């Protein structure tokens, strides 16, 4: 499986511009890299995040679904469409969508851990479910930005069979070291591939450094701090080898450390 992560520099609150830019970058990646999967970052439609969500959020994800369903079908590519600021009947959500090659929406995920330090909880409502799906026969999961700081979430999905985790983010430049450390830790401890697609939004000081990481924690590809597309081919036989040689799942003692509160 070949993955391209598009480290996009979106404009805060300029929805039409961001939709046009996202489509152009996906087309460019599809033409240049011929990936099986393309990935966008968190809240690429609005940036992170404009105060006036009422006028900028995508109502029920309608525009996102219409545009990227058609694009996935046209390009014959799977699109992990980052996340968008999304207006539902009961409030605003930070919602990720995944489209398969036919344009079908095969996964939808509302960010479950809201970043209270940035007052995200004052604007968005939290989701109530995890996100697992299958792309080209591979078991995948998806989390959004701050979710990366909660290892229980990733471990629970791994125990359910996830081999590839997508992380879409608007992670600030001043905490790039945290992003890199946590992403590699999640890949190593769960012996999975991890595709991190961070924003390079200059107007909100996001730090980029998107990365595709193998189950050993090695970088297969990594971006700098400006807009870029990174691509790598994943060899899933690596997972079988590492899980049979360093079998942390067999050696777990969950009866001693079950998290209940």
**Cα(92)–Cα(158) distance, integer angstroms:** 29
Contact, 130 vs 140, CB < 8 A? no
Catalytic residue among 65, 81, 108, 111: 111
What DSSP assignment string belongs to 118-168? GTGGGT-PPP-S--EEEETTEEEEEEEGGGGG-HHHHHHHHHTT--EEEEE
Neighbours of 210 (CB within 10 A): 31
Catalytic residue among 5, 131, 140, 145: 145
The residues near 107 (Cβ < 8 Å, ≥ 6 apart) are 96, 97, 98, 131, 132, 133, 142
Let me know if 219 is exposed, middle or buried by CB neighbors in 10 A (0-12, 13-18, 19+): middle
Across-strand partners of 89?
A: none
Catalytic residue among 42, 108, 120, 180: 42
SS3 176: helix
In the annotation, is 5 catalytic?
no
* DSSP-derived pairing of the beta strands 138-144 and 219-222: unpaired
Radius of gyration of the chain (CA): 17
In the annotation, is 59 catalytic?
no
In the annotation, is 81 catalytic?
no
Contact, 157 vs 149, CB < 8 A? no
User: Catalytic residue numbers?
Assistant: 42, 111, 145
């Amino acid at each position: 499986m070949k993955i391209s992560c598009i480290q996009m520099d979106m404009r805060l609150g300029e929805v039409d511009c961001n939709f046009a830019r996202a489509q152009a970058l996906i087309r460019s990646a599809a033409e240049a890299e011929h990936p099986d999967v393309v990935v966008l970052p968190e809240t690429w439609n609005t940036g992170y995040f404009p105060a006036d969500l009422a006028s900028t959020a995508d109502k029920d994800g309608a525009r996102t679904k219409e545009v990227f369903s058609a694009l996935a079908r046209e390009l014959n590519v799977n699109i992990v469409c980052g996340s968008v600021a999304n207006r539902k009947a009961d409030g605003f959500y930070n919602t990720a969508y995944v489209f398969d090659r036919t344009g079908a929406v095969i996964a939808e995920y509302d960010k479950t851990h809201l970043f209270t330090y940035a007052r995200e909880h004052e604007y968005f409502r939290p989701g109530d479910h995890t996100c697992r799906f299958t792309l080209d026969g591979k078991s995948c999961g998806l989390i959004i930005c701050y979710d990366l700081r909660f290892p229980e979430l990733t471990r629970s999905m791994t125990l359910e069979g996830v081999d590839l985790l997508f992380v879409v983010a608007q992670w600030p430049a001043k905490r790039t070291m945290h992003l890199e450390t946590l992403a590699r830790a999640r890949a190593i401890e769960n012996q999975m591939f991890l595709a991190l697609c961070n924003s390079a939004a200059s107007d909100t000081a996001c730090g980029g450094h998107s990365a595709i990481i193998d189950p050993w924690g090695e970088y297969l590809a990594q971006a700098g701090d400006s807009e870029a597309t990174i691509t790598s081919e994943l060899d899933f036989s690596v997972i079988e080898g590492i899980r049979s040689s360093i079998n942390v799942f067999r050696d777990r003692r969950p009866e001693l450390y079950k998290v209940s509160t």
